[in-house]
Amino acid sequence: MSNLDHENYYALLGVRRDATVDEIRDAFHRFSLAHHPDNLPPDASEARKQATDAFCRGTEAYRVLLNPQSRAQYDAALQTGARTDVASMRPPGRSTKPPGPQIKSIKARPLYQRALQAIKKEDWKTARLNLQIALQYEPDHPLLLSQLRTVEQALK
């Protein structure tokens, strides 16, 4: 457990409780620059794990504070001293982890999303190109390879 686990979301991002949406966005940008795991060398596994944990906590704070309903619920929980983590505010039965293998590279993710949009439009060539480029960042990724096979079949 790191020190970040004990900080409230405002302190974690370094903003006042009455911070505006723009101030929260700016603070999260600064936080991301300092804590994003992709800023570390691939061989720094323990440091990368700690950075990933910190970044996830900061992302959690950003999502809660940016959403007016979640923020109001979070503020109320802070006032009463109740648990103030996202898991305690999430409706029961809802998982935050999407099913299947996740695309970890921040460079491959938008390419995959563009490929999905192209698939919806049946723009197979664009979908194939985006998937091929995404595979350069995450070679042998099962989800990307599966989608590419599907697109290749549609092109035949």
pLDDT range class, residue 101, cuts 50, 70, 90: low
Under the banding of pLDDT at 50, 70 and 90, the label for residue 93 is very low
Phi (first) and psi of residue 102, to 5 degrees: -95, 145
Of 75, 79, 57, nearest to 67 by C-alpha is 75
46-90 per-position pLDDT tens digit: 777 787 888 888 888 899 999 988 888 888 888 887 655 545 554
If 0-12 CB within 10 Å is exposed, 13-18 middle and 19+ buried, where does residue 62 land? buried
pLDDT score recorded for residue 47: 76
Provide the phi-psi class of 122: left if phi over 0, else alpha when psi is between -120 and 50, else beta.
left
Q: Which domains occur in the chain, in start order? A: 3-89 (1.10.287.110), 108-155 (no CATH)
pLDDT-derived band at 117 (thresholds 50, 70, 90) equals very high
d(CA 2, CA 17): 22
DSSP letter (8 states) at residue 3: G
Q: How large is the C-alpha radius of gyration of the chain?
A: 19
CA–CA separation, 152 and 119 (whole Å): 11
CB contact set of 92 (below 8 Å; sequence gap of 6+): none
Q: Which helix (H) or strand (E) holds 71?
A: helix 68-80
Q: Which tokens go with 123?
A: 């723009």
